[in-house]
Structure 1
């Protein structure tokens, strides 16, 4: 394996694992408090990378080799989680320019898309971006459902690496979908303020932060509540997903990006299913 960015990057097969070697990464250090570690050592210790093979149903990740003979059949049913919106074809950035006079996010951004399209009918909508965030946005339909929105804009097309970033963000914060009372109390001040450097209120919809937190708590405790996770991206199209899936069905050639993306998709949906969350991927048509 070679990389156009780092020509020294190599995969090395060990007896029971795979490691990455790179002369460039050896000279990059992560410094935290009084300790430091080389980036290449951190990557190899954590093993948070995916290695795919020419056989679609085999993947190496987290120090294990997986084979899922039902993956292709399952992926066909996973298509239902993709929800296409033509409005995403015109988005230019994640949140756009932020200025002191603004009271809403720019109209050609993913943040405004969540605000004005995806969560337009919510009883409460909070922007939770920046700081110790649970998600980019959180919406509550009183005693019906709670939804977390994770947005990622990119100039790439059908990028597995960009998709991995937003999937990782969603999975990292999945435990916050059932926050404690103390965690919600810590949000009170933040949600009562404005987005940094602007006049955009963090509470995007609702009558008051106080009532919003009360509704959040009641909804979480309601026996019939459903929880939803939305991945909001501009660089994936449902048509492209279907096209790539058809190629796989026919045994045609597909890119490594496609295989990686489908494995990420499978992992995300399986995790949501196991934890009882509804998964949504909003994308271009």
Structure 2
């Protein structure tokens, strides 16, 4: 089955619909014809097992197939069905929360100085620290290095206890999926780490006793933003062993407006054809929420109002 540009009718590639999966058989985008994917452990051009971009996308199922029916989508090698899209998308809206502080965000992490003790208020990091994660008695900045999330929050005093991974993003307002591909991929990749594997905690906690550094600037921002550094091992062990612990994954972004999502879904419910980019966004986020549920976690998007 050929893939063609809907405007120019130029062939862009081909897919094969097999019994078990959809395969990307051809990709003829001029800019990608010479692109190869290598393991970063090798020097550039030195990976003997490097793959063409087409083979890598196919092997990793890194593509989305949409259908004439809004209730179907093929994402990451899995066929999803959801009749709720055309009925108002309430399942999506339950997982999308507004925070008006994100309306004023101008950067993901902000700028840094050696005297700085807190993240900029107009950064996504700053909004997480001051508002989104305000219910966490322990808050860790895990950004960079062996990163599980930009921030990790614990609330052991709540009943039941909570573990929250926060993934921060910033971008221009959009109803397209492009702003979310990286954050969704990162969030899903790190879902298994929400079990707080004990064999990894020693190195993590040692790193969390340092101050935050970015782009060669060592700030005075503590990576342990809240909580007693000396009690981190015990606190994380308590959260890990709690039988009723609630695991949450927040993608916190300035690139989406909840009101814009509501309006787009209302137009779909009224019978108007949605923008294909919004259809991609809907299904990408629904696949994220589904992946969280499979790992006994709750996924959310925190965005502009």
TM-score normalised over the length of structure 2: 0.85
**Residue 108 of structure 1 corresponds to which residue in structure 2?**
122
My pick for the range that moved more, 39-48 or 132-141, is: 39-48
CA positional deviation for 1:224: 2.8
2:141 and 2:224 mapped to 1: Cα distance? 6
**Residue 228 of structure 1 corresponds to which residue in structure 2?**
248
Q: For the structure 1 residues 27 and 177, does the alpha-carbon distance in structure 2 shift closer, same or farther, using more than 3 Å as the test? A: same
Alignment of 1:189 with 2:206, yes or no, is yes
Runs (5+) with no aligned partner, structure 1: none
2:272 and 2:138 mapped to 1: Cα distance? 46
> How many residues get paired?
282
Higher helix share: 1
Deviations 1:167-217 (A, max 9, x none): 111111000000221211111221011112222111111122x31231111
Q: Determine which of 249, 268, 282 is the counterpart of 1:262.
A: 282
Alignment of 1:58 with 2:72, yes or no, is yes
CA positional deviation for 1:90: 0.4
2:284 and 2:112 mapped to 1: Cα distance? 32
Q: How much is the aligned-residue C-alpha RMSD, in angstroms?
A: 2.3
What is the correspondence of 1:8-87 to structure 2 with a 5 Å cutoff?
A: 10-14=12-16, 16=18, 17-19=22-24, 20-32=27-39, 33=42, 34-35=47-48, 36-63=50-77, 65-73=79-87, 75-87=89-101
Give the 3-state SS of the residue equivalent to 2:115 in structure 1: coil
Alignment of 1:170 with 2:187, yes or no, is yes
Does structure 2 conserve the Cα–Cα contact (< 8 Å) formed by 1:152 and 1:232? Answer: yes
**Residue 201 of structure 1 corresponds to which residue in structure 2?**
222
CA positional deviation for 1:280: 2.0
